[in-house]
Amino acid sequence: MSIVWKDAESEFESFFAPFGKRAHVQRLTDTAYVRGSTGRAASFKDAQPSDYIITLEGTTFYAEVKSTQSEPSFPFSMIKKSQWAAARMVTAAGGHYRFYIRRETTKRWYVVPAVVFITHTAKSIRWHEIDGYLI
């Protein structure tokens, strides 16, 4: 599954290439990456608020990339507590936090503003409920 996750992140980064200098993609160091490169738990590494910070044509936002084969919904259990906390703080401050989700069964991408997930009361969201965020 980790290869699928890396493929999703590579594809995500390629979204912004056509924008050239109108896009800046800043990848944040992931705890799993540090653990993988050292072979040890990265207890010294603080949790990051998201996978990326993006500036696209003047708008800056946090971007968390997820990849799932889950059907018939996206499970919120895939979102770490630190990511939920960051999403809530960023949106409360008037900022933008987006979840980029690749649904592996269809290879389709959803770009969902965090506020959609934050205000949803269930433990998952059905794919048809976020069809409006397909790209």
The pLDDT profile of the chain, 135 residues, written as one tens digit per residue, is 456 667 888 999 999 999 999 999 999 987 655 555 556 655 556 789 999 999 999 999 999 999 999 999 999 999 999 999 999 999 999 999 999 999 999 999 999 999 999 999 999 999 999 999 999
> In total, how many domains does the chain have?
1
Domain of residue 37, CATH code = 3.40.1350.10
Please give the radius of gyration of the chain, using alpha carbons only, rounded to the nearest integer: 15
- Could you give the CA distance from residue 73 to residue 97 in angstroms, rounded to a whole number? 20
pTM over 0.85: yes
Copy the structure tokens of residue 57: 């044509």
Q: Which domain holds residue 63?
A: 2-133
